[in-house]
Amino acid sequence: MQASRPASGLAPGTVASVRFTDLLANGQAVGRMNGVVVFVAGPLPGERASVRITQVKPKYAVGEVVAYEFESEMRAKPFCGVFGVCGGCQVQHLAYPAQLAWKEQIVRSALRRIGGFENVDVRRPVGMTYPRNYRNKMALVVDQTAGETSFGFYQARSHALVRIDSCPVVLPQLDAAIAGLYDASRAPDSRDAFSGAKHAIVRAGAASGQAVLSITTDRQSPEIRTKAPAIARRVRGVVGISNSFEPRTANAVLGRKMSYVWGQREMEETIEGVRYRVSPASFFQVNSEMVGRIFRFLAPGLAPDRTVVDLYCGAGTFAIFFASRGARVVGIEENPAAVREARENAALNKVEDRVRFVEGRVEGAVANKDGKQALDEAAIVFLDPPRKGSDEPTLDAIATAGVPNLWYLSCNPATLARDLAYLAKRGYALGVVQPFDMFPQTGHVETLVTLHKAGVEPEVTLPEREATPWDDRITAWPSDDKYAKSEYPDFVEQ
């Protein structure tokens, strides 16, 4: 028996003209066909296109562009040859000032829809001076087909490989490293090191020019150890090579174990006068320029001897900066390797007498005697959690301690809004909401929010945002498709 056509009349193969009203964080545009929401990669708000339906779901449909009928003034020419196929960037087709306006709206919309904050003053995002060549870490997929080694990234919403020869959003040094890896994978004295390789991770310091390379394999590879010097001769700036092995899943970028086989464990980076040594596996923000802008924004709040508790502190990026500006800091982090690096970086900057690192899960650490005491003494709690956000026990411990000032830095507006709503119920008022464009050309946005005890004048104040060359060109985002975003939140987060 033939399946009945949906009540909307839509079925795969249906073609119609669609006007698009908004853009999701995954780069898909929102339109409607026969009253049904349609998601299509490529169009921008205000554009109209002839669209062919490819999938019909119970509450939405997915389509592809047949031809554009009207194009927006916000449209830009993508600068990467694999844009639209590679999953690394979502919005190279959107002019940079419009990207900034869009990200402001993403933050504003999440705070309203999820947090219930109707009239929040979201500042204009702080953009990059030059929104390309910024990523200081590159995780390449390694593929061996027909005896040839290729490097690339995953296709959008897929684990299919997109082979690349260059990448315009990574640091120039990392872009050059791609050619070096190809050379090393073909040269007789180094090619065996890539046999069985799953990923190649390169992290570089924009200031130092140093880079570290890690090759991920299922099992520990003796070939990587013996061939490492030959690889280093071909990959620009490499000062250390490691072998990551025993990944938890088939597509995990790094393994559970790490063997440092040649040279240094870490590369060095300097941001606002603070030196960091970071390994391939450590969490470290991918955009050093934007980290510097966040540092400069927070610096006025760091009065001498003001106590700061840094939750989810990683390798100590912010904790050590705070200490370098005179604050007394307690950093909490569950990853033992990150804590080791944080302590070493504190010594490197001669601030080990001003910062103390505690190894443990944040929710457990803030509940024990030492953690409670740290919160009781804190003038500021700084939170920079992973994408999943914080958790109620941690937020509850902060509120119970009555910490007067909170700085919450987030890469996920949805979980940020959720956590802010919980803090608001526990007696905190929002202060500054300042987005930073940590990830140009993508749908991701970093947001810093300050909070203080409601009804109390904040004792820690931060300045106006730092000016950037794009400020005069940022205009209001043209739309906010509330219906689509409220009805399909899971789709939005893909």
Distant-in-sequence, close-in-space partners of 281: CB < 8 Å, separation ≥ 6: 214, 244, 254, 258, 337
58 conformational bin, left if phi > 0, alpha if psi -120 to 50, beta if neither? alpha
Distant-in-sequence, close-in-space partners of 460: CB < 8 Å, separation ≥ 6: 301, 306, 379, 380, 404, 405, 450, 452
d(CA 476, CA 229): 53
d(CA 205, CA 236): 12
**Out of 80, 86, 167, 411, which one is annotated catalytic?**
411
d(CA 165, CA 177): 10
Cα 15 from chain centroid (whole Å): 36
Match 């509120």 to its residue by tokens.
399
Residue pair 254/247 in contact (Cβ under 8 Å)? The answer is yes
> What is the b/e burial string over 56-92, where b = at least 16 CB atoms within 10 angstroms of the residue's CB?
beeebbbbebeeeeeebebbbebebebbbebbbbbbb
Structure token pair of residue 91: 């919005």
380-383 vs 355-359, strand pairing mode: unpaired
Structure token pair of residue 141: 């997929």
Is residue 411 annotated as part of the catalytic site, yes or no?
yes
From 135, 159, 161, 139, select the one nearest 150 (Cα to Cα).
Answer: 161
From 207, 237, 400, 404, select the one nearest 308 (Cα to Cα).
Answer: 404
> What is the b/e burial string over 347-366, where b = at least 16 CB atoms within 10 angstroms of the residue's CB?
ebbebbebbbbbbbebbebb
Residue pair 451/429 in contact (Cβ under 8 Å)? The answer is yes
Match 């980290």 to its residue by tokens.
291
d(CA 134, CA 202): 14
Residue pair 73/44 in contact (Cβ under 8 Å)? The answer is no
Q: Would you say the C-alpha torsion 218, 222, 225, 228 has a positive or negative sign?
A: negative
Beta-ladder partners of 60 = 37
Could you give the residue numbers annotated as active site? 411
